[in-house]
A = this chain, B = another copy of it.
Amino acid sequence: MPPSEVSGTTGRPRDPAVELRILTATQDLLADHGYPGTTIAAVAARARCSKAAIYRRWTTKPELVVAAVRAAQHVPEPPDTGDLREDLLAAAMHFAESEDRSGVLLASVLSEIGRDPELYEAAHRVVGGPPVAVLVAVIERWIARGVVPPHVHVRLLADVVPTAAFGSVVLRKRALDPSTVEELVDFVLLPALTAPGVR
């Protein structure tokens, strides 16, 4: 939900540039200092605006944070390169470090947004779902093509890279290395997807 759109029909209009500065400032602070370090005062200072300008748009801090995370996201397209490994790499690389900060931001927020289940669910659904769904879609397509056997545990394998990315961000304060993502694809996903049925 973008800024509360309720505003009188007359008077000085809101400056859209302020809105943008607030959101990017929130993203910066979330990425650098986590949820607790992202104070409203700090956001205001970085956005070069007043706290009032923030509370005019969002009623509470968690709502601002969700808006900032949502603004950072752009839904990826399921790749279809004709090669299993290339598809996996393309889908998995969304979780590596890149100019797209949505993964890093999501991890920062999810781990610290605390005990508010409603906001937690909102953030998870909006930002966490789609990229994992892309990985699931890729795997299922290659199952349909008969390249990957149908007995593999799709959900479990699709979660490997996102989970690793999450751990990296939360534990080591930095995004997953692209080379590590490549290793995960080559040494974990591909063997598990192409191995004959074990057990």
Contact = CB atoms under 8 A, between A and B. Distances in A.
Interface of A: 33-34, 36-37, 85, 110-112, 114-115, 124, 152-153, 156-157, 159-160, 163-164, 166-167, 170-171, 180, 183-184, 186-188, 190-192, 194-195, 198-199
A34 B110 CA distance: 13
Counting chain B CB atoms within 10 Å of each CB, which of A36, A114, A167 scores highest? Answer: A167
B188 A188 contact: yes
Contact of A198 (B37, B112, B194): B194
A181 to B, nearest CB: 11
A152 B191 CA distance: 10
A164 B195 CA distance: 22
Contact of A195 (B159, B170, B171, B195): B195
